[in-house]
Amino acid sequence: QVQVAESGGGLVQAGGSLRLSCAASGSILSITIMGWYRQAPGKQRELVASITRSGSTNYADSVKGRFTISKDNAKKTMYLEMNSLKPEDTAVYYCWLGPFFSSWGQGTQVTVSS
């Protein structure tokens, strides 16, 4: 089974930037889509961005134009570049390896202050 480890979160002021990383271990041959979810206290988990094996990307409207998802197949690592951060971006960010929901990491905390 594939395991993931998220990193790169932290505290940043509004307008700042962060780069999240998700490193996968094990076989990823069965993975067809990858992405980043986030969950803030009291809110439902939200799919922020996704990327397919072929490189097609999708973004939630709330982050479109500010976040960029990418991957390095050789390193088995996925990234989320977050720019122009807003306080409402504050959440725990989780790495997702699809199409199923059997591989989740611990998440990385992103806190944006005003």
pLDDT tens, per residue, the chain with 114 residues: 789 999 999 999 999 999 999 999 999 889 999 999 999 999 999 999 999 999 999 999 999 999 999 999 999 999 999 999 999 999 999 999 998 888 788 999 999 999
Q: What is the pLDDT at residue 2?
A: 87
How many residues are recorded in the chain? 114
Q: What is the pLDDT at residue 82?
A: 98
Q: What is the pLDDT at residue 51?
A: 98
**Distance of alpha carbon 81 from alpha carbon 15, whole angstroms:** 13
How large is the C-alpha radius of gyration of the chain? 13
Q: What is the pLDDT at residue 103?
A: 77
Q: What is the pLDDT at residue 1?
A: 77
Scanning the chain, the segments in alpha helix (DSSP H) are: none
Q: What is the pLDDT at residue 39?
A: 97
**Distance of alpha carbon 110 from alpha carbon 54, whole angstroms:** 28
Residue 88 burial (10 A CB sphere; 0-12, 13-18, 19+)? exposed
Beta-bridge mates of residue 81: 19, 68
Q: What is the pLDDT at residue 87?
A: 98
**Distance of alpha carbon 21 from alpha carbon 9, whole angstroms:** 9
Helix, coil or strand: residue 91 = strand
Residue 18 neighbours by CB distance under 10 Å: 21
